[in-house]
Structure 1
């Protein structure tokens, strides 16, 4: 599959860099390439550890268009698999979360797989055939557990999770993320492209116009976006105003992981691309203290954060409509405020230009 052929210019006459062309945000062909070269190759936030505390606990969902599930093994390790039986391809689990016994039994023909994904019981198959339990085990998905969060990667090989996360691990070391507890979610399906959302997130040029609550809490005039292109990482920061929240640490890891960490809680967000021009925005809120006495305060804090996301979505819904309409093509990027957007879009360009890995063909 060839890379996208974006025919629009990349610079204005004055030398300013231009955005990606509008068709990149609404093209089925571009989205198919993104699925292969971005979504499958990167680690993606999938769930949190408290959902599957015990061996046999599982959580299911979709990632890059694939049905997958993660399960805690008898050894305490989280493993992940495609939600497909090796016999006839039936879905093994249909609940969002649950618990299986010693065997994960397919609801179609009752083939059984152990918690490590090995075939354990091809029930009453007949004949003399003997199945290799590893060769006929479930299709694996890479899994990693980091500080109470679970990440998956569809494509085998590539970067380890530690390498993918890069300096985030050290920079966030003294924030108590793994001692915080899930409080609530705010998920929404939105008619915007994942890149439209990323473009908006990685600049604060719009903040004074659109986010009065954020401006009251932070000194927006000192808002900065530091780019680490070698790690595909963005560090966003601004000092709190007097009476504002405690210190915080804010990261965006390409393609769409958002970590907002505080001593007292965290807002953890990602998007699941559903198609060209459509995402599911997923936001989880964790707090150090989730006692009933703190519930109302925690809820106010989460709703304050969710309101900022709502303000963003309200405006970029119109952006996405215009990107799809065929009148607006490109615009200039501010070197003062939108260098993060430029870096993000260059990461998209680079990823889509990167050829797929060579396929080893047996002699």
Structure 2
């Protein structure tokens, strides 16, 4: 089939279910980008920690005695035991390994290695916990597995400017919804980045927003997408949607925020994570906040019902590749290009001999 200038080819079906490709994505995309981990309200005091997984790594973040939040691999340096357990908790003065009682300070430095005698000396910094990069941004905690690189503010780029009018710091956690689904992270991202499907699949969204004026602005250099449409009437939900590659989603409304991400669990499998925040979470607002969160969650459910079947068909082997409309799916084309570019090693810099 020949494609004209108004169309482009999608990624091949194997891109969404190949274990070797997923392993490369984990190394070159997931580990090198800032990833959403938790929110600051879960870490009010020194010693408070939250656990989780990122790019297949067992991680915990903890607020130190100096007030800074740090991220550590949840791995003892002695025999690789898991140091802290549960979704969240509080450590005393030391993080103590439950296996052989090695102890670490809240900043990660080794404090004690039990029963090694006086002749074996461990450098506290060299034998401290293995760190990942960690920063707080407007009440959110982001972690990057690979150390070094741009700050969160630099990585976000224009996202920070678009989010500036929304009072994220004033918003309080209301609820969360997490679900494990058999969908590749790229299929989810592609679906998010087009409204070609909105009239067929999202009656609630179409009733609220003027879908005929729905736009997706692509910022290739910043790996960022701004999705927006005016409300159908002044009383309807006003919102803007920000997607930072590979999978940070800030859905900002006049009533609060729906902060979302995915955790890739393997080729063709993700955990979808959604947190809802409101300025007023008093009992008087409970019912209204619940309606707003449920409205947002229903749109995601409508998407997942269709794209899980897309994944099954990709896995079955009959579907090979799709033509994409440059009029309707231009952001999908840009997203796929970002995926491919991220897996391509940079061109070597050639210096001419003098």
Answer whether TM exceeds 0.5 for this pair.
yes
State whether structure 2 residue 348 is matched by structure 1 residue 348.
no
State whether structure 2 residue 323 is matched by structure 1 residue 314.
no
Deviation at 1:246, TM superposition (A): 4.6
Deviation at 1:355, TM superposition (A): 5.6
State whether structure 2 residue 114 is matched by structure 1 residue 128.
no
Figure out how many residues of one structure are paired with residues of the other and give that number. 347
Distance 1:14 1:291 in 2: 56
Deviation at 1:124, TM superposition (A): 2.7
Deviation at 1:118, TM superposition (A): 0.2
State whether structure 2 residue 4 is matched by structure 1 residue 14.
yes
CA deviation vs aligned residue, 1:72-96 (integer Å, no higher than 9, x gap): 0001110000000011110001111
Q: Aligned residue for 1:361?
A: none
Deviation at 1:173, TM superposition (A): 1.4
Q: Structure 2-normalised TM-score?
A: 0.96
Q: Aligned residue for 2:264?
A: 273
Q: Aligned residue for 2:182?
A: 191
Contact 2:194 2:329 in 1 (8 A): yes
Q: Aligned residue for 1:8?
A: none
CA deviation vs aligned residue, 1:32-61 (integer Å, no higher than 9, x gap): 000000000000000000001110000000
Q: Aligned residue for 2:84?
A: 93
Contact 1:37 1:354 in 2 (8 A): no
Deviation at 1:129, TM superposition (A): 1.3
Contact 2:185 2:264 in 1 (8 A): yes
Q: Aligned residue for 1:152?
A: 143
Q: Aligned residue for 1:222?
A: 213
Q: Aligned residue for 1:181?
A: 172
State whether structure 2 residue 3 is matched by structure 1 residue 30.
no
Question: Superposed, which structure 2 residues align to 1:27-176 within 5 Å?
Answer: 27-176=18-167
Of stretches 240-249 and 148-157 in structure 1, the one that deviates more from structure 2 is 240-249
Of residues 207, 225, 228, the one that matches 1:234 is: 225
CA deviation vs aligned residue, 1:247-306 (integer Å, no higher than 9, x gap): 322100000000011243100000000000000000000000000010111011101100
Distance 1:34 1:188 in 2: 22
Deviation at 1:245, TM superposition (A): 3.3
Contact 2:223 2:338 in 1 (8 A): yes
Q: Aligned residue for 1:213?
A: 204
Contact 1:144 1:151 in 2 (8 A): yes
Distance 2:96 2:265 in 1: 29
Distance 1:159 1:177 in 2: 22
Of residues 284, 292, 295, the one that matches 2:286 is: 295
Q: Aligned residue for 2:352?
A: none
Deviation at 1:127, TM superposition (A): 4.0
Distance 1:232 1:51 in 2: 29
Q: Structure 1-normalised TM-score?
A: 0.93
